[in-house]
A and B are shown apart, each in its own frame.
Chain A
Amino acid sequence: MAFRQQVMVLYLATSALDTAVVGWSFYDGTGATDRMAGDEATPPYATGLDALKDGWRLFQASPLLPHGSGDEFRLGYLKYEFFFEKLVQTDG
């Protein structure tokens, strides 16, 4: 008996967990599923809060950083990134 980690990353519309999912990723340490880019059209949850209600444990959230002078309008990576996990019991 062993535990394996499933990781889900949700990208939300704001820093609040109860706002809409705009992007998502899923990495399955059990090997039961093989997820990859572009494999799903609809988010698994409408909001981050819905993921909590379904048993996902939040373990990391992106910080809110001040905007550097002269760099206020530059955009890069998705801003509101939340890492969730589930520990799943396996036979391995």
Chain B
Amino acid sequence: MAEPVLLDSRQMASFVARGFLRFDAVVPDTINQAFLDALGRVDAANIAHMRAYYGRIMGSDAIPVVNAGTPMDAAYPDESPLRALLDLPVVRGAVESLVGRRAIFDHHFLHIAFPPAFYEAQGIRQVAQHNHQDSTIDPRSAFDIQLMYYPHDVTADMGGTRFLPGSHLRIVSEAAIARYQNIRGQQHVVCPAGTLLVLHHGIWHGAGINRSDRLRYMFKIRLQPGERQRRLWNTADLPPADTPQRPIFWTGPGQNEDGIAAILTRPEPWHEADTGRLEYLNRIRLWRHLLDDPAFDADYWLTRVENEPV
């Protein structure tokens, strides 16, 4: 197996700040086609009922039934398209960087967005999935990741996954955020075949509405860390721990906007004026956790509120 391509520090910092990484067309078409072939490539016109279609796939061996808690490396048979996907150097590198070499399989699911004709035939309102955070309230410093795999091109009318960058550190209770229909900065996945989205478990998201005449597939795998998430990525580009703080507010020209501090303190369009600053504090805390360096700071946000001389 080829060596994994680990994430670099800027990618990791971006994940900490925004809660996702996107790899367009990273899965080769041979794997995409093999995955779709295993599903059976049923023409949308030949499907009578959505539930029946799910039942047919679940009853096949296209996607294995895997116990929660299984080591990731034992979750999929050798030679299967999903095993091949996880063995891609870029995918394995991202997984190892985020949740380590002993990642634990939590669950997986094939999400299918059906075209309008299915809803019309059954007299059901076709509606985009409400915004939600997966699982339940989860206040850990450790985090799980969710791989979202798009095996075919996703066009805008197919209603690709909607998600809100930077929402992952908010502690909410699953569908309690369903009231929020639109939030500035929300993204809709439109992507080429073989695209992989790697999400922090806390990202607010929902499936879009499929207005095309084709089925849209998204396969999700949730993985847990099997070890302490400490410097698991390629840290060769990390600045030295004694790197001085940069100027803040009155910065002058030439401020480095590509460094770790800049990435961790970059606002999202939906940030509220005051809690946007708390987002920075929470990102810095997560970065400290990953670095295992309780003294790390970016733009003095934590140093300021921790300074209590005795």
Q: How far is the CA of A74 from the CA of B138 in the complex (A)?
A: 12
B209: nearest chain-A partner, CB-CB:
A36
Residue of B130, B272, B285 contacting most chain A CB atoms (<10 Å): B272
Contacts of B278 in A (CB 8 A): 73, 75
Measured CB to CB, the closest approach of chain B to A56, in angstroms, equals 16
The stretch that binds A, out of B92-100, B172-180, B234-242, B243-251, is B172-180
Say yes or no: A19-B181 contact (C-beta < 8 A), given A37-B130, A39-B128, A77-B176: no
Residue B184 at the chain A interface, CB threshold 8 Å: yes
Which residues in chain B, 249-280, are within 8 Å of chain A measured between CB atoms?
Answer: 269-275, 278-279
In the bound complex, residues from chain B placing their C-beta under 8 Å from that of A14 are: 272-274
State whether A26 touches B181 (Cβ < 8 A): yes
* B281 and chain A: residue at smallest CB distance: A73
Chain B residues 202-237 with CB under 8 Å of chain A are: 206, 208-209
Q: How far is the CA of A80 from the CA of B275 in the complex (A)?
A: 11
Q: How large is the interface on B (under 10, 10 to 19, 20 to 34, 35 or more residues)?
A: 35 or more
Beta-carbon contact of A79 and B275 below 8 Å: yes
Q: Which residues of A, 1-57, contact B by the 8 Å Cβ criterion?
A: 9, 11-14, 19, 21-26, 34-41, 43
CA distance A34 to B119 in the complex (A): 15
| Complex partner residue of A11 from B176, B178, B183, B273, CB under 8 angstroms | B183
Interface: A76 (CB within 8 A): yes
Report yes or no: A13 in contact with B177, Cβ–Cβ below 8 A.
no
CB of A78 within 8 A of chain B? yes
Known: A38-B188, A38-B208. A25 touches B279 (CB 8 A): no
The B-contacting residues of A in range 59-86, CB under 8 angstroms, are: 73-80
Main secondary structure of the interface of B (DSSP, over half): loop
User: In the assembled complex, which residues on chain B have CB atoms less than 8 Å from the CB atom of A78?
Assistant: 180, 183, 272
Q: Are A76 and B179 in contact (CB under 8 A)?
A: no
- At the interface, yes or no: B169 with Cβ under 8 Å from chain A? yes
Residue B152 at the A interface, CB < 8 A? no
The distance in angstroms between the C-alpha atoms of A11 and B275, with both chains bound, is 13
Asked whether, in the complex, the Cβ of A38 is within 8 Å of the Cβ of B128, the reply is yes
A43 to B278, CA, bound (A): 24
A38 & B162 in contact (Cβ 8 Å cutoff) = yes
B212 to chain A, nearest CB (A): 16
Q: Chain B residues near A12: list those with CB within 8 A.
A: 272
Give the docked Cα–Cα distance between A74 and B270 (Å).
17
Say which residue of B125, B130, B171, B281 sits within 8 Å of A76 (CB atoms).
Answer: B171
Collect the chain A residues with CB atoms within 8 Å of residue B186's CB. Answer: 38
Contact A75 B180 (CB under 8 A): no
B184, A76: Cβ atoms under 8 Å? no
Determine whether the beta carbon of B272 is less than 8 Å from that of A38: no
A6 to B142, CA, bound (A): 42
Given the known interface contacts A75-B282, A76-B170, the answer about A35 and B273 at a Cβ–Cβ threshold of 8 Å is no
Please, how many angstroms separate the alpha-carbon atoms of A23 and B172 in the complex? 16
> Do B169 and A75 touch across chains, with their CB atoms under 8 A apart?
yes
Please determine whether A11 and B180 come into contact, CB atoms closer than 8 angstroms: yes
Q: Of the candidates A9, A36, A75, which one forms a contact with B179 in the assembled complex, judged by CB atoms under 8 Å apart?
A: A9
A1-B143 Cα distance, complex, nearest whole Å = 55
Tell yes or no: B182 within 8 A of A by CB: yes
**Could you name 19 residue pairs across A and B whose Cβ atoms are closer than 8 Å?**
A13-B271, A19-B273, A22-B270, A23-B180, A23-B182, A24-B182, A25-B179, A25-B181, A36-B128, A37-B178, A37-B180, A37-B181, A38-B181, A38-B182, A38-B186, A73-B278, A73-B285, A76-B172, A78-B183
Task: Add 10 more A-B contacts to A43-B182, A74-B171 (CB < 8 A).
Answer: A23-B184, A25-B179, A36-B181, A37-B162, A38-B186, A73-B281, A74-B139, A76-B172, A77-B176, A79-B272
